[in-house]
Amino acid sequence: MNETLLLAVISLSAIGVISAVILYLVAQKFKVIEDPKIDIVAELLPGANCGGCGLAGCRAFAEEIVKTSDLSKLNCPVGGSSTMNEIAAVLGLEAEEKDPMIAVVRCNGSRLNAPQKVIFDGASSCAFAHALSAGESGCPNGCLGLGDCVVSCQFDAIYISPETGLPVVSDEKCVACGACVKACPRTIIEMRKKGKKDRRIFVSCINTEKGGPARKNCSVACIGCGKCVKECAYDAITMVNNLAYIDYEKCKLCRKCAPVCPTGAIHELNFPPRKEKPGEPEQGKVSEPVAAG
């Protein structure tokens, strides 16, 4: 009996010792010498591995930033400037101040604004629906509402509104990783400056058709009339392919363009309510932030 016990103890101990030696040798042989800063930087990152920086994940980002010591090209949109400042401090560099960004949905073609012309019946994928046809509203640029952006979002920051059938971005949850921008087959979603107090003005349409056909499919489409371009005092609005675009770098958020838009395609978010003027076109105007995101 004692002998058995002894034998078991000895053999197990021997296995333990031999394994330890092997593990030690292997660890020495395959040791990877890494800059300790990588670990420190990786620690500072949010750890979401969302790929918003354009690299494979937070670890890859840390490796890259330590290797290049160049902050101008790399930015973690999720962590924002506070994280970048901390990383800069670790690396002994100065972080550039980057404005916080947010995803913006540039389509307001709800069933009400863009009535259904055909019924789509097929795989629940925007990418497929886009390849198949112009979509249920007939607008070749409009939101298909099948939620590829929702699937792509790792932060639960975007959902399809049951009322409008359009995606809605949550101001609090969106970290501007850009996954939805890539996922949308029609590039309806754009990364824009988050703006002071979350205030933003943008053209909620990307239809490049001429006024007539655009309007035929959707009552709130940009018809390329150019009124907003004339109205803007800061040269922030450009007109390309019958479509107005507001440059968020130049825009001073003066709100003068929105009222002149005949279709209400220019949306303003999170501003205090305007004083009602009689006779102003109300159609398609977005007063609730929910409807546009």
Partner 1 sequence: MSLLTVSGSPHVHTQQSVKSIMYGVVIAMIPAIFVSVYFFGLHAARVMLISVLACLFFEWVIQKYLIKGPVTINDGSALVTGILLAFNVPSNLPAWIIVTGALVSIGIGKMSFGGLGKNPFNPALVGRVFLLISFPVQMTSWPLPKPLFGPGVTDAITGPTTLGIFKEGLDAGKTVQEIMASPSFPGYINDLMGAQSGSMGEISAIALLLGAVYMFSRKIITWHIPVSYIGTAVVFSGILWLIDPAHYIDPVMHLLAGGMILGVFFMATDMVSSPVSTKGQLVFGAGAGLLTILIRVWGAYPEGVSFAILIMNAFTPLINSAFKPKRFGEVVKNG
Partner 2 sequence: MKTFKLGGVHPEENKISAGKAIEVLPLPEKVYIPVSQSLGAPSTVVVEKGAAIRVGQLIAKGESFISSNVHSSVSGKVTKIDDVIDASGYKRKAVFIDVEGDEWEEGIDRTRDIIREVTMDRDEIIKRINEKGVVGLGGATFPSHVKLMVPDGRKAEYLLINGVECEPYLTSDHRLMLERGEEMLIGVRILMKALGVDKAFIGIENNKPDAIRYLSGLSAGFKGIEIIPLKVKYPQGGEKQLIKAVVNREVPSGKLPIEVGCVVNNVGTALAVYEAVQKNKPLVDRIVTVTGKTVAKPCNLLVRIGTPVGLLIEHAGGLPENAGKVISGGPMMGKALTSLDAPVVKGTSGILIMDGVEAKRTAQQNCIRCGRCITVCPMGLEPYLLAQLSEHQLYERAEKEKIMDCIECGSCHFTCPAGRPLLDYLRLGKNKTGIIIRNRVKR
- Binding partner 2 by CB under 8 A: which of 209, 237, 248, 284? 209
Interface positions, 233-262, toward partner 1 (CB under 8 A)? none
Our finding on whether 283 is near partner 2 (CB under 8 A) is no
Our finding on whether 270 is near partner 1 (CB under 8 A) is no
- State in angstroms the smallest separation of the CB of 124 from partner 2: 9
Between the alpha carbon of residue 220 and those of residues 103, 169, 206, 236, 262, the distances in Å are 20, 20, 11, 21, 9
The window from 14-22, 36-44, 82-90, 126-134 that contacts partner 2 (CB under 8 A) reads 126-134
Our finding on whether 282 is near partner 2 (CB under 8 A) is no
The window from 13-21, 113-121, 160-168, 218-226 that contacts partner 2 (CB under 8 A) reads 113-121
Binding mask 194-233 for partner 1 (x = CB under 8 A): ----------------------------------------
28-40: buried (b, 16+ CB within 10 Å) or exposed (e) per residue?
eeeeeeeeebbee
Nearest residue to 190 (alpha-carbon basis) of 129, 252, 245, 231: 245
Output the six-digit token pair for 103. 């995803």
Helix (H, G, I), strand (E, B), or coil: what is residue 40? helix
Distance from first CA to last CA of the chain, Å, rounded? 77
127: partner contacted, choices partner 1, partner 2, none (Cβ within 5-8 A by kind): partner 2
Q: What is the DSSP letter of 92?
A: T
The β-bridge relationship of strands 266-269 and 200-203 is antiparallel
Interface positions, 139-158, toward partner 2 (CB under 8 A)? 140
Residues that bind partner 1 (CB under 8 A): 116-123, 128, 132-133, 136
